[in-house]
Structure formats: structure tokens, C-alpha cells
Chain A
């Protein structure tokens, strides 16, 4: 079945960087994009950006533009999201999701989430 499996919990100090991975299986990786969404404790869902697994094109949310880099490795069907200059505001669960085109884009499935805690 189509599945996304993310890397494990991270604890970082302010100013550090974090790299979260998302390994896809059950479909041809290059046929869909990958979206990254985060959810701060007790809050809603925030779209961070999108990457095409086909050609590497990216589109980042303005809020994280300049601090986020999304990449893919088609040889291992894995997507990566690096976020730099972390602050406590970046404490959240980070999700990857397949961005599948059906005329519209739909996010399905989602990874299990990676908790990133930023604390001194």
C-alpha cells in the first residue's frame, strides 16, 4: 500500500537546524509531489511548501522562505525537509504528504509525523 514513513523525534537548541526525512513506498515516487505541513502544539495545520519529485521544482510558504529547503532523492524514494535558524516557534509536529494530481491536488497519504522540539 502507499505509505510515507518519517524519521524520528528531534530535540534542537535555538539557532540549530533540523533535517526530517520522508521515505515513500507503494507508488512511483516521481509521479507525485511531496508537501510538508506542520502543526504546533494545540494548533491547526500550516502548509510549509511543496516539491515536485519529478524535477525538483519547489514552492515555499513565505513564512519559512529563506530558512527551508526541500529536496528529494529519487534513487531511494525519499524526501527531505531542512529548516534552519530554529526558534521556539518552530516547535511542532512536521508531516510530509503525497501531493497527488487529480485535476486538483490532494494530500494523501500522510506520514506519521515527526515531533521537533526547540528548547534551550
Chain B
């Protein structure tokens, strides 16, 4: 199975801060990497697919980059509604696996 490791596991940031979350795969997943946002108590929501393709309706302050084994989710200017947990997920091979999540909290 491909193991996905996110860092950090949690972070505290202020509104307006630039935030980066990294995701490392235990083996190459090409660009088959998705990012999801989960607000507490709600279902996850797809933000970015194929490593860098922003979903329709997702604010442009979110961006994704990377390929192979190392990926980054960037929030250019953190907004109050962005405080949530973020997960990466590979769909390169089954079982599709998720990172453990990164909780973004208010500083």
C-alpha cells in the first residue's frame, strides 16, 4: 500500500497568513493526488485534483503543486472560513490512501 504522510499534523495561523501543507507519498504517484477540506462535522470537500487542478467554485487563494512523491497545498491568504482539516489522497493505485490530515487552527 502507498503511505501518505502530511506535515505538519496541525498548525496555528492568523487570518491573512500564507499557509503551506506538504504531503509525501511512500512511492511515486505521478500527479494522481487530490486535496480535500473537511470542516468539523461535515463531509470532506474536494479542493484540488490531479495535484494542481483547482475545482470549480474553490477560491483562487488555494493552489496545489508537485508530482512524483512530494506535493504541496498552499493557501495564499488564510481566511476565517479556511480553518479546517486538510487531507491529501492518492488515486494512483488501490487501496486509495489518505494522509493523516492537517488541522489548521486559529492563532
Residues of A within 8 A of B (CB): 35, 37, 44-47, 50, 59, 61-62, 95, 97, 102-113
Contact = CB atoms under 8 A, between A and B. Distances in A.
Contacts of A104: 31-34, 49-50, 91-92
B36 A107 contact: yes
18 contacts: A44-B100, A44-B101, A45-B38, A45-B89, A47-B89, A47-B97, A50-B94, A97-B44, A104-B50, A104-B91, A104-B92, A106-B91, A107-B36, A107-B89, A110-B44, A110-B45, A111-B43, A112-B43
B95 A44 contact: no
B98 interface: yes
Contact of B44 (A50, A95, A102, A103): A95
Contacts of B43: 95, 109-113
Contacts of B89: 45, 47, 107
A102 B36 contact: no
Contacts of B96: 35, 47, 50, 105
Contacts of B38: 45
Interface string B42-66: 0111100110010100000000000
Contacts of B32: 104-105
Nearest to B53: A102
Q: What class of interface size applies to chain B in its complex with A?
A: 20 to 34
Contacts of B97: 47
A90 B94 CA distance: 21
Contacts of B83: none
Contacts of B92: 104
A70 to B, nearest CB: 13
B44 A45 contact: yes
Interchain residue pairs A-B with the least CB separation, the first 4? A105-B91, A106-B49, A108-B46, A110-B43
